[in-house]
Amino acid sequence: MRTAQLWHWIYYRGTSSFEEMLNISKAFRLRLSERFTLARPQIVSEQLSRDGTRKWLIRFDPVDVRDRGAEVECVYIQDEDRGTLCVSSQVGCTLTCAFCHTGTQKFVRNLTAQEIIAQLIIARDRLGDFPERAPPEDGIVPTGGSRFVSNIVFMGMGEPLYNFENVRDAVAVFSDGDGLSLSKRRITVSTAGVVPRLHELGAETGAMLAISLHAVRDELRDKLVPLNRKYKIAELLQACRTYPGASNARRITFEYVMLKGINDSPADARELVRLLKGVPAKINLIPFNPWPGTAFECSDDATIEAFSSIVFNAGYASPVRTPRGRDILAACGQLKSETEKLRARALLAAEG
Ligand code: SF4
């Protein structure tokens, strides 16, 4: 009974202090507040794009003496009928996808499940998306009657399948019907293709799957998504064919960033269609979002259009993702924070 009460206060009502839990005895509330805290991580900054996209830089406290805290970015993209929160799973990333800004930041550490969940709690706090709260004064929230955060995508910083246990636990909390209550069909985990963990992801979380594909030939994908040197395209697609729960009603999303003169020819589009045979797929074409120092350029509109029609005529939905939040570097592949790992000497000092 106590667990259900606490769960309701924390995840359904979004309470940030034990004091407010009036159906729990004063003595027990006191004991809880002596040992635990519901305080939110610090929001270092909040940026609001011209198109209504919001980006938060969130600072987490150190988890041990070796850690000096961590900063991650988290982005909220509002549409008329939905609100999507793009969460981070790691600080930095071990993978170095050539077109991705996060990939230029050295990996610092995995986020804990509670740090992943905190990103949703913070978003709901800021958007007034808990019972009896008001939306922000700028009023930029979905108007179609959905919850303000109705969808979660693990497409922020990091490779979620290299932090599997914490991502799995966070998905379980996100989707619990007595708490944050997001439908699993609206939670998407995006991976660069960590093949050995795909089956587990589907079986243990029931989340939707997205694959950062970006190339249809191994020589090119080896360069764009270096993880491909370990798990080749054929092996990755075979794992997708047997992904638990995938069906025509629950399609796997294939993300494909459009890079001028690199992966955007009609022959690439035809090969993409050939490769995806037998996979319940939809294809998300992402115009490349530039970031400081990148050598890539975005394909031009006509090329994207031609690519999209080949895919569409083969029977696949192939929406071109409208870039959101570019002016605040909140668009796909643009996230990065300043957090770095402690150098060896600082580590010794911290431990001493
Ligand atoms: S695309 Fe994803 S996996 Fe690749 S470097 Fe960026 S954050 Fe890491």
**Best residue among 72, 96, 97 to mutate for probing ligand 1, ranked by most atoms within 8 Å of CB:** 97
**Contact (CB, 8 A) for 142 and 149:** no
Ligand 1: residue whose CA is nearest its atom 3: 159
* Pocket of ligand 1, beta carbon within 6 A: 93, 95-97, 100, 102-103, 157-159, 192, 212, 333
Q: How far is the CA of 313 from the centre of ligand 1 (A)?
A: 30
Tokens linked to 133:
């709260």
Options 71, 73, 115, 159, the catalytic residue:
73
Q: What is the DSSP code string of 269-309? A: HHHHHHHTTTS-EEEEEEE----TT----BPPHHHHHHHHH
Tokens of 16: 């940030």
Each residue's pLDDT, cut to its tens digit, for the chain (352 residues) gives 999 999 999 999 999 999 999 999 999 999 999 999 999 999 999 998 888 889 999 999 988 888 878 899 899 998 888 899 999 999 988 898 898 888 788 898 999 999 999 999 999 999 989 988 887 776 567 776 668 899 999 999 999 999 999 999 999 999 999 999 999 999 999 999 999 999 999 999 999 999 999 999 999 999 999 999 999 999 999 999 999 999 999 999 999 999 999 999 999 999 999 999 989 999 999 999 888 888 899 999 999 999 999 999 999 887 888 778 777 777 666 777 776 665 555 545 544 4
- Give the separation between CA 40 and CA 68, rounded to whole angstroms: 17
Model-wide pTM > 0.75: yes
Q: Is 73 an annotated catalytic residue?
A: yes
- Check if the beta carbon of residue 174 is closer than 8 Å to that of residue 117: yes
| Ligand 1 pocket mutation, candidates 95, 153, 154, 188, criterion most atoms within 8 A of CB | 95
Interval 277-294: pLDDT, tens: 989 999 999 999 888 888
SS (HEC) of 53-96: CEEEEEEECCCCCCCCCEEEEEEEEECCCCEEEECCCEECCCCC
pLDDT at 345: 52
Residue whose pair of structure tokens reads 């769960």 in the numeric block: 7
* Ligand 1 mean position, distance from CA 225 (Å): 8
Tokens of 255: 């993300």
> Three-state DSSP class for 251?
coil
pLDDT of residue 352: 46
